[in-house]
Amino acid sequence: MLKMKPIVVLAAVLFAVTLMIPTLLVLPFMEKTTGKLGEELTLKETEAVADQPDVEVAVYRVGQEKIENLPLEDYIAGVVAAEMPTDFELEALKAQALTARTYYLYHLMSGEKLGVPEGADVTDTENHQVFKSDEELRKEWNKDYQWRMKKIKEAVAATSGQVLTYDGKPIYAAFFSTSNGYTENSEDYWSSPLPYLKSVESPWDVNTEKFNGQKIISVADFEKKLGVQLTDASEVGKIIEKTKGNRVGKVDINGKILTGKDIRVKLDLKSSDFTWERKGDNIVINTKGFGHGVGMSQFGANEMAKAGKTYKEIVEHYYSGATIDTTKTLLTKITASK
């Protein structure tokens, strides 16, 4: 065996160590570096949220006759909790959070103050959006509060900084419980046509719990509430017009023309998709769907989520041509105007 000179051995060792040092220094930090990259990506995705201006919502609590002030995202959480069941799919709750935020911004930018007392932005009723405070939800949910609120806050946080717009402006993000298989054109229920509130198919609602409804009303009450006089004929009125969403447009009852909406409101029906028949001294009315039918169907959204659709796909289906935008510019304008 050949003997190597000490100086040669020392040089070889130093050379090897020099090559290994960078690797040895990097190895202990490889896990941290990967984590940091992930964190930076997350921050980049949410950077539009981080610099949002603070907005405080002034909610008029009708039952308490007082104004409650709270941060925007806390208000949205209170709306989602009040407007949609918390056992719905997370993606459906996200869609509800996005519509709730959009509706609020639309209302503020419209300047509409009808029914809102001085100093308040919105009420906590169906005139705007139903809202419940954290204290009320703790009492209502009791031992289920923690998991329910965690789920709500997750849905709100996932959409924070987002708003639905059409031509750069917040949309009127109408929503309702359950469709009859279709949503309704806005002009078929309200007076104004809106390009993003057009009738679309919603077949997911058909087998849900609120799809079918029935109401029995006496002939006397039927005549009184609708201001009509029935004859002894077997036919009780005739549908003479249907809407795009397959609901009742107009009915001729012994010469008096009434809209489906009028009948729904006056008889307090679940939907304007109805049929009826006279049985003795009563009118038996069967309905399909629950609500006005314009915008997003909540039960439809939940069934879409069960089928694997995201909240973005849900809102894009129900609000034709609307896009998801950031709230930064809108909130800046609102903050400046307050």
**CA nearest to 222, candidates 291, 278, 292:** 278
Q: Which pTM does this prediction carry?
A: 0.81
Rounded Cα–Cα distance for residues 133 and 124 (Å): 10
* Strands annotated E in the chain: 56-61, 66-71, 122-123, 162-166, 169-170, 175-176, 212-218, 238-242, 248-253, 256-259, 274-279, 282-288, 296-297, 323-326
Residue 159's pLDDT band, with cuts at 50, 70 and 90, is very high
Residue 330 has pLDDT above 70, yes or no: yes
Close Cβ partners of 111 (under 8 Å, ≥ 6 residues apart): none
- Other Cβ atoms closer than 10 A to 43: 11
- Taken in order 93, 98, 104, 106, the sign of the CA dihedral is negative
Q: What's the half-sphere exposure (Cβ side, CA atoms, 13 Å) at 229?
A: 1
Rounded Cα–Cα distance for residues 194 and 271 (Å): 21
Q: Which of 30-44, 91-105, 135-149, 229-243 has the lowest mean pLDDT?
A: 30-44
